[in-house]
Amino acid sequence: MKMLINVPETVVSDALRGLAAAHPELTVDVQNRLVVRRDAPVADKVGVVSGGGSGHEPLHGGYVGMGMLDAACPGEVFTSPVPDQMARATAAVHSGAGVLHIVKNYTGDVLNFKLAAELAEDEGIDVRQVLVDDDVAVTDSTHTAGRRGTGATLFVEKVAGALAEAGAPLDRVAATARKVNECSRSFGVALSACTTPAKGSPTFDLPPGELELGVGIHGEPGRERRGMMTAQEIADVALDAILEDLPPGGPVLLLVNGMGGTPLLELYGFSSHVQRILGQRHVGVARTLVGNYVTSLDMAGASVTLCRADEELLRLWDAPVRTPGLRWGC
Amino acid sequence: MKMLINVPETVVSDALRGLAAAHPELTVDVQNRLVVRRDAPVADKVGVVSGGGSGHEPLHGGYVGMGMLDAACPGEVFTSPVPDQMARATAAVHSGAGVLHIVKNYTGDVLNFKLAAELAEDEGIDVRQVLVDDDVAVTDSTHTAGRRGTGATLFVEKVAGALAEAGAPLDRVAATARKVNECSRSFGVALSACTTPAKGSPTFDLPPGELELGVGIHGEPGRERRGMMTAQEIADVALDAILEDLPPGGPVLLLVNGMGGTPLLELYGFSSHVQRILGQRHVGVARTLVGNYVTSLDMAGASVTLCRADEELLRLWDAPVRTPGLRWGC
Amino acid sequence: MEAVLDAAFFRRWLTRVTAVVEREATALTELDSAIGDADHGSNMRRGFDAASAAVDSEPPDTPGGVLTAVGRQLISKVGGASGPLYGTALRRAGRALGGEPRVSAEQLRDALGAAVDGVRDLGGAAVGDKTMLDALVPAVEAYGAALERGADLAGALDAAAAAARDGAEATIGLRARKGRASYLGERSVGHQDPGATSTSLLVAALADTAREAS
Amino acid sequence: MEAVLDAAFFRRWLTRVTAVVEREATALTELDSAIGDADHGSNMRRGFDAASAAVDSEPPDTPGGVLTAVGRQLISKVGGASGPLYGTALRRAGRALGGEPRVSAEQLRDALGAAVDGVRDLGGAAVGDKTMLDALVPAVEAYGAALERGADLAGALDAAAAAARDGAEATIGLRARKGRASYLGERSVGHQDPGATSTSLLVAALADTAREAS
Ligand SMILES: Nc1ncnc2c1ncn2[C@@H]1O[C@H](COP(=O)(O)OP(=O)(O)O)[C@@H](O)[C@H]1O
Ligand SMILES: Nc1ncnc2c1ncn2[C@@H]1O[C@H](COP(=O)(O)OP(=O)(O)O)[C@@H](O)[C@H]1O
Ligand SMILES: [Mg+2]
Ligand SMILES: [Mg+2]
Ligand SMILES: [Mg+2]
Ligand SMILES: [Mg+2]
């Protein structure tokens, strides 16, 4: 597979240099792999930190800014960052009001953030953690590392960021972030595998005419391989899986997320089927986002995330946000 | 090639339905293939209309909204829309202040917009046209249909839209739009061909280890095929071609544009090389945009666009814009 | 029996073209994929499907009416370069035929000449630029020359069809100067032009329609 | 001559492991690609390169010091699941060896036990979950049993290496319950666990280091 890179070893630092040059409103520490709001720490504000392997851009570095994350720690491609990064990020955004860690539920992320929280607490920083585990494709949770964190990460980061920006205390920011996660479910599908720079070839073989249902965002195969399906059939399978598990409630936030290699034209078409089916099942859609938000390098495919949103969540969702990857209201 | 679609025939209408559902602030006429600002026609405002083949999303439908386009007409994939669409769009956004057509310089777009302008003028609507032809890869203009319109379309649409929003008269909006085009140059490169839904297989064969230099955005092969190059070498070739032809002047707007299939991680890395080389050549960068803005379905690759920007252009660039694909300041 | 150039003749031609385009769509797209954007086959199919449907639902009663209706449909349904070019060509041809219920072989020659002018005026290309004109112009010339030599309609159209086919094949050696293929510069050489190819199909369908009737 | 378990021994082990990991990185990534995210080889290489560099630039003078330094580097350079797990394992082992300049084969057994506890405490996996523990636990048990039976260091480490290798191979038949591979459910069966495989390389390097010295 061909890539627009120099050498695999410098992919992450090169991207960080590019991010720094394009976004003077961010402080990018290429050496230590940190992306931080330039005005951090914001006085009396809870710091919101996330991080994870690279390859999911704009997640997480692209969501640093007013109304969302205060800092992000990008790891190597598909490899969670190390505790030193997270501890540094935590110290950089700590104003005294404590720091929330938003952690996608993968063994590596969980373990490294755990060690980081210990380091930060040694420095006297009050840290809370919220785990994102929204992927319903992973069903059998007593026999797995638990559900993966995927699309809902965007919702959690946006809502927690808005609440922190509004001056809420750490416990409330953490509780609301957890609520967002609990109200969110996702399901993903891959039409092709992705290619990591280090491996240089697709992470799995997907013959023409087949797709993977229930994939994550790290190029791992899904739960099931099937013959090629139409967009409408895929939307049906995804929504069946999601709605079976989604807590009941009011209207939803809808994210129709591209995995990176699927054209926006197809994503919007896919989204039309998702919306139609939701209509048939009497699920109201309060807000919709269609695009590449939580990606898996060049993988072709998409995921759907629904979040039951009450008035408060909608208000926080609509609050101004100013980041490279998500921006409105300012 | 697998696609997230139902059947090739409905790809464009399905996408329009998805756009409509996701963006209630737009009026989408699926039947007639129009995307229009909900508040059109805006009293006393020059209408700004663009359009072209589908497959370049978010261009053009994703740039309809306050501060940018009043309407867009999407054609079939890679096929310019028909005059009826453009004439309808023109009528829909005409407040009495006249309408600007922003046309990418392709034979099909030019001819169809020409017939549309005749139809609109028959209705007594004052129409001006600005041609976008920024692609320096097409050098020999007496032996070609002229340079192609690519990345600069985004700059022209944004700046013309901002000026129209500010209440400028038609002639001034048209003149400034032309100035933006004249100050802009682009160069594109493909690491893979794209696959159109109708054809279902890549539009050209690109063996592993080779790339196409000087490609357009319609899956046509480029000017030259070469052995695989590093991101840095590609940036060098692109900037050599652009800077040789770019009018002298002050700082530039920089667009590092993904063709659709290249991960954002790679794009930001590529952008870091572009910025470094610009620095070495003493070209100041006033604003940078990195992302998938003018795409070519799932093609892997990128293009670079520079636009010399004076104070006025920068002010118009920074003016508020609220569209699905570009948003800031509101 | 000599074919009669009435509305029914041009409707039979339209039916034939629609079928031929349906059959050849993939091949046309394949040609366009080599030096263009891989849509010429679907463009032609969309256009002639719409034209057939329109003419079937409201059948014009003159040759000029049929060609004008087809041209209008091509313009408002195809898009791309070929839509306005073929559409204008057929509208101009239809206009040249006026409102007469039957036209002569000579009137058809003038109408074909008007079609050529329409393509030239709108697209600005000349023979040798590797476009549809490289099939259309020799076809119209061969048709006129055959009539001069005293050929009947079917014979003259056969000459036109042969010239169109040769013209289309000869585009292989040309370097494109108009349309998308021109972006390729030297790399456009070695491929047959899709528009010249579809033109030769349209002209062959005319000849076949005449032969079938005679 | 029996190998001496001093700082130099563990530095030789580290050098050997670094070379082995370099050589096997692609194979480890390949295994991780089948049931994980295709990075285990590069993770291990990045970690051991950093550990070698750190230990070379500031060589600790005790076995415990070497292992602790390696563990610290793995934690702060690797990331992923394997970084904190291997890092914690080695730090715990290092801590168990204390500050002594030389340790006994029995002390090494206890240190290996501490490593197992570290992995278990942090990762919460048990034997049979298809993780590095499926190589590490049998290795430590075989080592202890061999010492009981009166084997010398090299012999006991050979037994450990064989058990680790068998344990790693036996993960092929297991269904993963921890780590990324668990997402695959039944589809994780039939593939060897990358972490168990790298563990067997680390243990084999211990045995080789001992044999080379004796
Ligand atoms: N300026 C022109 N004059 C005459 N014919 C042209 C011109 N430009 C393009 N063509 C014809 O149009 C054909 C391409 O048609 P089509 O693929 O349907 O449109 P597009 O190029 O917009 O995709 C070319 O093969 C060529 O024969
Ligand atoms: N909870 C756990 N306990 C023990 N070992 C684990 C656990 N989770 C994963 N592992 C081991 O880690 C290996 C994967 O390491 P690596 O690929 O480097 O990290 P990641 O899974 O984060 O990409 C697995 O093969 C497995 O042996
Ligand atoms: Mg990993
Ligand atoms: Mg086209
Ligand atoms: Mg074409
Ligand atoms: Mg891994």
pLDDT tens digits for range A292-319 = 999 999 999 999 999 999 999 999 999 9
SS3 per-residue string spanning chain A: CCCCCCCHHHHHHHHHHHHHHHCCCEEEECCCCEEEECCCCCCCCCEEEEEEEECCCCCCHHHECECCECEEEEEEECCCCCHHHHHHHHHHHCCCCCEEEEEECCHHHHHHHHHHHHHHHHCCCCEEEEEECCECCCCCHHHCCCCCCCCHHHHHHHHHHHHHHCCCCHHHHHHHHHHHHHCEEEEEEECCCCECCCCCCECCCCCCCEEEECCCCCCCCCCEEEECCCHHHHHHHHHHHHHHHCCCCCCEEEEEEECECCCHHHHHHHHHHHHHHHHHCCCCEEEEEEECCCCCCCECEEEEEEEECCHHHHHHHHCCEECCCCEECC
8 A C-beta contact, residue A216 and residue A135: yes
Position A195, amino acid: T
pLDDT of residue A7: 96
What residues contact A80, with CB distance under 8 A and at least 6 apart?
Answer: A51, A52, A53, A106, A108, A109, A111, A112, A113, D79, D80, D81, D83
For residue A144, pLDDT beyond 80: no
Mean pLDDT confidence for C57-79: 97
pLDDT at C30: 94
Select from A86, A144, A196 the residue whose CB has the most chain D CBs within 10 Å, as the one to mutate to test that interface: A144
Chain-chain contact of A21 with B272 (C-beta, under 8 angstroms)? yes
* Domain B184-317 in the same topology as domain B12-169: no
Question: Quick one: pLDDT band at residue D3, thresholds 50, 70, 90?
Answer: confident
State which amino acid sits at residue C154.
A
- Mean per-residue pLDDT for D58-77? 97
The 3-state DSSP class for residue D45 equals helix
- Rounded to a whole number, what is the distance in Å from the CA of B44 to chain C's nearest CA? 30
The shortest CB-CB distance from B143 to any of C35, C39, C182 is to C182
User: Mean of the pLDDT values across residues B129-136?
Assistant: 97
CA-wise closest residue to A164 among A102, A99, A116, A104: A99
Q: How confident is the model at residue B152 (pLDDT cuts 50, 70, 90)?
A: very high
pLDDT > 90? residue C2: no
Q: D47, D83 in Cβ contact below 8 A?
A: yes
Give per-residue pLDDT as tens, C190-206. Answer: 999 999 999 999 999 99
Q: pLDDT-derived band of residue A1, with 50, 70 and 90 as boundaries?
A: confident
Query: Is the Cβ pair A230, B5 closer than 8 Å?
Result: yes
Over pLDDT 70: what percentage of chain A? 98
Cβ atoms of B75 and C79 within 8 Å: the answer is yes
A237 touches chain B (CB under 8 A): no
Residue D185 pLDDT exceeds 90: no
Domain range summary for chain A, segments of one domain joined by +:
12-169, 184-317
Q: How many domains does chain D have?
A: 1
List, for residues B228-242, the tens digit of each pLDDT value.
999 999 999 999 999
Which chains, if any, share at least 3 CB pairs under 8 A with chain C? B
Residue-averaged pLDDT of chain C: 96
Q: What is the mean pLDDT of residues D168-178?
A: 96
Contacts of C182 in chain B (CB under 8 A): 138, 143-145
pLDDT band at A91 (very low <50, low <70, confident <90, very high): very high
Residue D96 tokens read as 């168990």
Q: What is the pTM of this model?
A: 0.95
Q: Which of B67, B74, B180 is nearest to B132 (CA)?
A: B180
Share of chain A above pLDDT 90, in %: 92
Q: So what's the pLDDT on residue A203?
A: 84
Mean pLDDT calculated for residue range A272-299 = 98
pLDDT mean across residues, chain B: 96
pLDDT digits (tens, 9 = 90+) for B164-206: 999 999 999 999 999 999 999 999 999 999 999 988 888 888 9
Q: By the CB < 8 Å criterion, does A41 face chain D?
A: no
Tell whether ligand 2 has an atom less than 6 A from the beta carbon of residue D112: no
Distance from CA of B102 to the nearest CA of C (A): 16
What's the rounded Cα separation, in Å, for the pair A199 and D28?
11
Q: What is the pLDDT averaged over residues C63-80?
A: 97
Which chain A residue is nearest to residue D27, measuring alpha carbons? A199
Give bridge partners of residue B100 from the DSSP assignment.
B48, B128
- For the domain that residue C206 is a member of, what is the CATH number? 1.25.40.340
Residue of B nearest to A210 (CA): B2
CA distance B58 to B325: 6
Q: Is the pLDDT of residue A54 over 70?
A: yes
Per-residue tokens: B129: 């046209």
Asked if the model's pLDDT at residue A165 lies above 90, the reply is yes
Q: What is the pLDDT of residue B222?
A: 82
| Mean pLDDT within A147-157 | 97
- Tokens for A175, please give them: 């509780």
Nearest one of A154, A159, A214, A152 to A183, comparing CA atoms: A152
Taking only the tens place, the pLDDT of each residue in C110-156 is 999 999 999 999 999 999 999 999 999 999 999 999 999 999 999 99
Q: Tell me the backbone φ, ψ of residue B187, rounded to 5 degrees.
A: -150, 135
Is A12-169 a domain of CATH 3.40.50.10440? yes
Give the whole-number percent of chain C exceeding pLDDT 70.
Answer: 99
Over range B266-288, report the average pLDDT: 98
Residue range C165-171: mean pLDDT, rounded: 98
**Cα D145 to ligand 2 centre (Å):** 27
Query: What is the rounded average pLDDT of the residues D163-186?
Result: 94
pLDDT exceeds cutoff 80 at D77: yes
What Rg value do the Cα atoms of chain D yield, rounded? 16
Q: What is the pLDDT of residue D1?
A: 58
Please compute the mean of the pLDDT values over residues A232-241 and round it to a whole number.
98
List, in sequence order, every beta strand (DSSP E) within chain B. Answer: 26-29, 34-37, 47-54, 71-77, 99-104, 127-132, 184-190, 210-213, 224-227, 252-258, 285-291, 301-308, 321-322, 327-328
Angle between the C194-213 and C153-170 helix axes, to the nearest 10 degrees?
160
State residue A142's pLDDT score.
66
Residue C32 has pLDDT above 80, yes or no: yes
Which chain C positions have a beta carbon within 8 Å of B76's beta carbon?
39, 42-43, 46, 79
- Closest CA–CA distance from residue D172 to any residue of chain A (Å): 17
Q: Which residues surround ligand 4, an ion (CB under 5 A)?
A: B 78-79; C 37, 39, 80
Question: Do C42 and B198 make contact, defined as CB atoms within 8 angstroms?
Answer: yes
Can you give the residue range of the structural domain that contains D18?
Answer: 5-213
Q: Which value does ipTM take for this structure?
A: 0.93
Residue of chain C with shortest Cα separation from B199 = C38
pLDDT at site B141:
62
Q: How far apart are CA D179 and CA A145, in angstroms?
A: 6
B18, B62, B330: residue with CB nearest A275: B18
* Residue A203 near chain D (CB below 8 Å): yes
Q: Does residue A330 carry a pLDDT above 70? A: yes
Alpha-carbon distance of B207 to B227, in angstroms, equals 10
Q: pLDDT value at position C1? A: 59
**What pLDDT does residue B140 have?**
58
Residue C195 CB–ligand 1 contact under 6 Å? yes
Does any ligand 1 atom lie closer than 6 A to the CB of residue C132? yes
CATH superfamily, domain at A184-317: Dihydroxyacetone kinase; domain 2 (3.30.1180.20)
pLDDT surpasses 90 at D133: yes
Return the structure tokens found at A284.
């109201």
- Torsion of Cα atoms, C179 then C185 then C190 then C196, to 10°: 10
Hey, which bits of chain D come out as E strands? 5-6, 102-103
**Which pLDDT score is estimated for A178?**
98
Residues within 5 Å of ion ligand 6 by Cβ?
A: D 32, 36-37, 39-40
> In the predicted model, is pLDDT for residue D212 greater than 80?
yes
